[in-house]
Amino acid sequence: MIDLLVAGSGPAGAATAIRAALAGLEVVVIEPREGPIDKACGEGIAHSAAAYLSRLGVQFEGRPFHGIRYLDASHSVDARFSAGPGLGVRRTELQRGLRQRLDALGVPVVRARVGEISQTSSSVTAAGHTARYLAAADGLHSPIRRQLGLAAAPARSSRAALSFGGSRSSSRPAGAGASSARRGLRQHFFVRPWSDLVEVYWSTLGEAYVTPVADDLVGVAVLTSARGSFDDHLRAFPRLRARLGDAPPASGVLGAGPLRQRVRRRVAGRVLLVGDAAGYVDALTGEGIAVALRTSAELVDCIRDDRPEDYEAAWRRVSWECRALTASLLWARNRSLLAPRIVPAAAALPGVYGAIVNRLT
């Protein structure tokens, strides 16, 4: 019998499968999409996450960045990494490296949908395969999570999901939009990176992240609860627009959201949730991949030792600090009196800001 089925071949699913294969487990990955898979994300990988992927034998090209810069209309503050640089990596390049490692390890990637899941006391069956365990890494809006009834009811503040497809943009302050779901949009531009840092621009609309991903390419990701197109949203960040100048787009616009996903628990019998499927607070701190990698390692340890019941506590233990810091920053972001003071406070207390950034990464 197969030891582990993995639903999804994104970073969380692929890393889970790679670590399981290296631990001597027989693994099959189920993935309905044709690769390389792209996704709307900030494309910055923390030093710890890049080092972990390297230990797994995953190879990919990226552009180093050495810290995080916060900016608003009149303030700027830098926090440089003490442990080592992160990497700006195109999501498709990361997926290419993960897939190559899966192929090198002989892990089958079956193009199929998981569909209905059935379980016994000793096995789980999905997509025509039976295994001892199933790792659900099927993304932010996980069909497996929904099928097994693991999703928690959305909080009142996140029930109104707003579309990004319209032509209007909102100039409401973040606090006024606290009842709206946050989403993300991302596009690339052909321009030489002007900084060796990831820049985070703050405005009343939301945040815009600029990640250098190649010597002639930057990715721009906007997080907001406002309606409007990507171009509409960029108007809220005049300092960023000035930096981009007439740089031509290098990709289409991709979107993701609503970002907040509440989960009651991460284990249902022999099915364990990992990555975004396991729950998500917000992309505000940019640590999604790092958390997914840490929790995927815990998942493999638990199933290798036949103790799936321990995974929930392990997931909470290794992710709590990032979840707490992200939730705290998001809480402040959603208060109209506090939101405009976030960047000035960081600039006034650069040591504290730097300590928080380095703690996260």
Q: What is the DSSP string of 301-354?
A: HHHHTT-GGGHHHHHHHHHHHHHHHHHHHHHHHT-TTTGGGHHHHHHH-HHHHH
In a domain, 356, yes or no: no
Instruction: Decide if 293 is inside a domain.
Output: yes
Q: Could you check whether the bond before residue 36 is cis, i.e. omega within 30 degrees of 0? A: yes
Whole-angstrom Cα distance, residue 80 to residue 42?
18
Does any domain span residue 190?
A: no
pLDDT tens digits, 290-348: 999 999 999 999 999 999 999 999 999 999 999 999 999 999 999 999 999 999 999 99
Per-residue tokens: 332: 């402040």
Specify the CATH number for the domain of residue 293.
3.50.50.60
Q: Residue 16 in 3-state DSSP? A: helix
- What range does the domain containing 39 cover? 2-64+85-155+260-335
pLDDT at 251 (0 to 100): 96
Question: Domains in the chain: how many in total?
Answer: 1
- State the Cα–Cα distance between residues 46 and 192, nearest whole angstrom: 21
d(CA 233, CA 210): 14
The answer as to whether 172 is a domain residue is no
Distance CA 199, CA 76 (A): 10
279, 263 contact by CB (below 8 A): yes
pLDDT at position 319 is 96
Q: Is 342 within a domain?
A: no
What pLDDT is stored for residue 167 in this prediction? 32
**Tens digits of residue pLDDT in 129-176:** 999 999 999 999 999 999 999 999 876 543 333 333 333 333 344 443
| Under 8 Å between Cβ of 292 and 266 | no
Q: Is the pLDDT of residue 55 over 90?
A: yes
Name which of 6, 12, 11, 14 is nearest 30 in CA terms.
6
In the three-class reduction of DSSP (H, G, I as helix; E, B as strand; rest coil), residue 95 is classed as: helix
Sheet holding 76-80, edge to edge: 76-80, 67-71, 198-202, 206-214, 217-224, 183-190, 254-256
**pTM score of the predicted model:** 0.90
Residue 180: predicted pLDDT = 80
For residue 1, what is the DSSP state?
A: -
Is there a contact between 104 and 57 (Cβ–Cβ < 8 Å)?
yes
Question: Does 113 fall in a domain?
Answer: yes
Q: What is the pLDDT of residues 344-360, one digit of tens each?
A: 999 999 999 999 999 88
Q: Is residue 249, in this structure, part of any structural domain at all?
A: no
E strands along the chain, which residues?
Answer: 2-7, 27-30, 44-45, 63-65, 67-71, 76-80, 86-88, 109-110, 118-119, 124-126, 129-136, 183-190, 198-202, 206-214, 217-224, 254-256, 267-268, 271-273
Average pLDDT over every residue of 27-31: 98
pLDDT band at 35 (very low <50, low <70, confident <90, very high): confident
Q: Is residue 165 part of a domain?
A: no
**Is residue 4 predicted with pLDDT exceeding 80?**
yes
- What digits encode the pLDDT tens for the residues 248-298? 999 999 999 999 999 999 999 999 999 999 999 999 998 889 999 999 999
